[in-house]
Structure 1
Amino acid sequence: MAPFQVPSMENTEKFVKIKTLSKSQVKPEKTIGRKEFQLVTFDLPYIAFFYNQKLLIYKGYEGKFDEVVAKLKDSLGVVLEDFYQLAGKLGKDEEGVFRVEYDDNMDGAEVVVADAEEILVSELLGEDAASKLKELVPYNGILNLEGLYRPLLAVQLTKLQDGLAIGCAFNHAILDGTSTWHFMRSWSEICRGPGQLISVQPFLDRTEVRNTKVKLELPEKSGPTIPDAIKFVGPTLREKIFKFSESAIERIKSDVNADSSDDSKSFSTFQALSSHLWRAVTRARQLKPEDPTVFIVFADCRKRVDPPMPDSYFGNLIQAIFTGTATGLLLAHPKDFGASMIQKAIYAHDSKAIQERNTEFENNPKIFQFKDAGMNVVAIGSSPRFKVYEVDFGFGNPESVRSGANNRFDGMVYLYPGKNGEKSIDVEISLEIGAMERLEKDNEFLMEEI
């Protein structure tokens, strides 16, 4: 599996000019007391990942910017009453096992208020706007391990010429994408009106899903520094977002299913799109027929574990599912070949497979890094099922939702629902520069409707 590389994103545009106006901390509004939550086997593989970053861009808002900031900070203090783990720090128990620690004397979440009034919202919506977006999100290049010394949640509120950017950095050792968007929706619910309650309470007890204590031997230095042993500089990458319309998605799904045999299971939208991406990126890399190519999906295990966990489970409940083949085989076979491999790998990842993966890690815990992923990987994160365009703080739905620069490597893909709803999907891809140039010219991949 893959964790950590510090990728170098191609700088084809100037960064946004950011002026920091203030920095403060926000704590839960009410007294919580001392709370401790052991990190479990599902959490620990991400300790050497970077903070997970999300960026929401809004056009316009009512009132003055200072008033909007105050409202966002006030509602953050309220929602942290339920999601107070995000206001804590990482710590260790007497056995050296990682945990989330919270007490009322801690500083809470970090909030930066910034100004980028020279920038229009429209300038941030382009397919190649990655370099402009980077400075709108906090904690670039910050490892989750640094949660021992830093807040577990950092927020940056940036004033734009005609809107607002809300950039968030979440410590990935304590939550996954499902929990991230649960928190964001809950925060927006509180912000929309006085006395508003969140619709779904977080399920906070991690030991309900796993209670084995695992001690990780980390190459730590004293103080808030990144250990040299887990630094890694990767190749120069380009990031681009490809927007697939509903009709393009339906064509992809139809084409993949048209190749399948009568006795095979039909392929879902996700499986068909994943195969489409896997084949296209593999073509763009111009690999030799004998070169391996690997597909990875970070799958939600909430309904796969035994007993199943609720969607509101707060933490990491994802595992990486792998499949692979030779490049020549993937590209020589019909489109259903890759889809069938992905489908079989996903179906096989049941509670037994999850248990075996956890036991293997517990018996031989290791620190994963992106450089461990190997070559020629296509990895899918996030999900078009996340209702990211419903995060309304009281000034409308976002114009765009993007990932930050962290946690990217050659072949990393993030999927989001398209803004126009229906069944459109946005595909955010990071690739080596030459491969990206070829992908942009691949008519079979583009479906002529992007």
Structure 2
Amino acid sequence: MAGEFAEEKKVGGVKILSTGNVKPKKPTGRKECQLVTFDLPYLAFYYNQKLIIYKSGEDFDGIVEKLKDGLAVVLEEFHQLAGKLDKDEDGVFKVVYDDDMEGVEVVAAAAEEVEVAELTAEQGTSKFKELLPYNGILNLEGLHKPLLAVQVTKLKDGVVIGCAFNHAILDGTSTWHFMSAWSEICSGSSATVATPPFLDRTKARNTRVKLDLSQPSDAPEHAKSASSNGAAKTLREKVFKFSGSAVDQIKSRVNAGGSKPFSTFQSLSAHVWSAVTRARELKPEEYTVFTVFADCRKRLEPKMPESYFGNLIQAIFTVTAAGLILSNPIEFGADLIRTAIESHDAKAIDARNTEWETKPIIFQFKDAGVNCVAVGSSPRFKVYDVDFGWGKPESVRSGLNNRFDGMVYLYPGKDGGRSIDVEISLEDDALKRLEKDKEFLMEI
């Protein structure tokens, strides 16, 4: 474990108590792994932030030490998170870890006037900013910044863990694999990583792509996005909690007229796409895009293991006119989504990769499409099982980074079963209309 120094200073309402770094407990030597075509498009995204909120009366210093000790153990297997980005002599990006590197950045902080209930109100993200590391930090900055930063903050009646992961080296599946392994070690349910990460990215794609990138100079505007006429629009976020019975009702409604059943994801996605299109009050001829960041682990040939560590996602797009979404039965949108997802097989994935390698395009986080609804995360991630030894989370939220008008994060509901939380970022007026849309809200 690297050294730590006290830094007693205030950032807004949060007092920084100490800053340090954590390295793998055992020396690993130098490890290198080439970034592949699945990773590289995300270099101009921002660090992916997750906020996990807990009720806890345990000793805060003991919590911090337990987290650091467990982190040092889990990093023995997940050593890439303790490394940095680098480029070889040909300009090919790679992730490198060496025992001389400082490791993961860990900050201990206090916001003792803040109660858990204030953070679980499910409205907005402005209160999260000082509880999360690396706001507005691009993945490309991983050339000289740690690839994982953690902030542990003491609340009046709990603790919050804010994490920032470099999105150029891992996706959501890998993120929650790591978080589960870390919590299992801290809670004592496992002494070592039960399912080690599969670290050889070249098994998924072994093409060397040379990139000449410099860091963009423009800073992000987290609370604003540009409208079609160039004016700024204020974004707002809200979590809509759908009970298991509400999800069942949505699925039953979408499947009422068809012979081939739609999945829960396809049904809920169509429900959200239709409601957001209504809330935006689009003209019938205006296009609307639905985007899903799909896991390709089981789509590739040969298939990759669930433990594959890295990015193994691709954005799948489908587009239609707003008038067609709103004038047709709900299964119209569901069918568009299903067709796009089912057609994205190994052949389509390979064609997309080959096209990108011929003419690499580095995406920005807001490039998902016009009037877009873009779905990330997954209700399959077991986020409420991340128990470090003081109980299950009260809430799990995404941070401020990588948000734009139409970004949707799906999480399992805290109550379990088939319940799903839908976290939506929308232009303020549209979100106000969505909040009053009885057809969308169902039983919530």
TM over 0.5: yes
Q: Look up the SS of the partner of 1:31 in the other structure.
A: coil
Q: Which residue identity does 2:217 align to in structure 1?
A: D
Distance 2:365 2:148 in 1: 22
1:41 corresponds in structure 2 to 37
Distance 1:309 1:329 in 2: 37
Q: How does 1:230-269 map to 2 (within 5 A)?
A: 234=225, 235-260=233-258, 262=259, 265-269=260-264
1:399 to 394, 402, 405: 394
Please report the TM-score for the alignment, with normalisation by the length of structure 1. 0.92
1:176 to 164, 171, 178: 171
Instruction: Provide the alpha-carbon RMSD of the alignment.
Output: 1.4
Please report the TM-score for the alignment, with normalisation by the length of structure 2. 0.94
Distance 1:430 1:44 in 2: 25
Q: Look up the SS of the partner of 1:165 in the other structure.
A: strand
Distance 1:403 1:371 in 2: 16
Is the 1:48–1:230 Cα contact (8 Å) retained in structure 2? no
Is the 1:296–1:378 Cα contact (8 Å) retained in structure 2? yes
Structure 1 runs, 4 residues or longer, greater than 3 Å off: 229-233
Is the 2:87–2:94 Cα contact (8 Å) retained in structure 1? yes
Q: Which residue identity does 2:29 align to in structure 1?
A: G
1:76 and 2:71 are equivalent in the alignment: yes
Q: How does 1:109-148 map to 2 (within 5 A)?
A: 109-148=104-143
Is the 2:366–2:402 Cα contact (8 Å) retained in structure 1? no
User: How far 1:228 moved relative to its partner?
Assistant: 2.5
Is the 1:256–1:336 Cα contact (8 Å) retained in structure 2? yes
Q: Look up the SS of the partner of 2:389 in the other structure.
A: coil
Q: How does 1:425-440 map to 2 (within 5 A)?
A: 425-440=420-435
User: How far 1:133 moved relative to its partner?
Assistant: 1.9
Q: Which residue identity does 2:20 align to in structure 1?
A: S
User: How far 1:371 moved relative to its partner?
Assistant: 4.3
Q: Look up the SS of the partner of 2:123 in the other structure.
A: coil
2:7 corresponds in structure 1 to none
Q: Look up the SS of the partner of 1:272 in the other structure.
A: helix
1:28 corresponds in structure 2 to 24
1:7 corresponds in structure 2 to none
Instruction: Point out which structure has higher relative CO (alpha carbons under 8 A, 6+ apart).
Output: 1
Is the 1:16–1:119 Cα contact (8 Å) retained in structure 2? no
Percent same amino acid among aligned pairs?
Answer: 69
2:196 corresponds in structure 1 to 201
Is the 1:230–1:369 Cα contact (8 Å) retained in structure 2? no
1:363 to 354, 358, 366: 358
Distance 1:398 1:45 in 2: 32
User: How far 1:324 moved relative to its partner?
Assistant: 1.0
Q: Look up the SS of the partner of 1:228 in the other structure.
A: coil
1:348 corresponds in structure 2 to 343
- The superposition leaves residues 350-387 of structure 1 with CA deviations (integer Å, 9 ceiling, x where unpaired) of 00000000000000001111343332000000000000
User: How far 1:230 moved relative to its partner?
Assistant: 8.1
1:18 and 2:14 are equivalent in the alignment: yes
User: How far 1:279 moved relative to its partner?
Assistant: 0.3
Q: Which residue identity does 2:325 align to in structure 1?
A: L
Distance 1:124 1:424 in 2: 20
Q: Which residue identity does 1:134 align to in structure 2?
A: K
2:297 corresponds in structure 1 to 302
1:325 to 320, 328, 339: 320
- The superposition leaves residues 162-206 of structure 1 with CA deviations (integer Å, 9 ceiling, x where unpaired) of 110000000000000000000000000111128712221100000
2:217 corresponds in structure 1 to 228
Distance 1:178 1:231 in 2: 26
User: How far 1:241 moved relative to its partner?
Assistant: 0.4
- The superposition leaves residues 379-435 of structure 1 with CA deviations (integer Å, 9 ceiling, x where unpaired) of 000000000000010001000000001010100000000000011000000000110
1:5 corresponds in structure 2 to none
Distance 1:255 1:371 in 2: 32
Is the 1:16–1:133 Cα contact (8 Å) retained in structure 2? no
Distance 1:105 1:411 in 2: 42
Q: Look up the SS of the partner of 1:82 in the other structure.
A: coil
Gaps of 5+ in 2: 1-10, 226-232
- The superposition leaves residues 136-179 of structure 1 with CA deviations (integer Å, 9 ceiling, x where unpaired) of 11111000000001000000000001110000000000000000
Q: Which residue identity does 1:244 align to in structure 2?
A: F
Is the 2:46–2:365 Cα contact (8 Å) retained in structure 1? no
**Paired positions, count:** 425
The range that moved more, 118-127 or 411-420, is: 118-127
1:94 corresponds in structure 2 to 89
Gaps of 5+ in 1: 1-14, 221-225
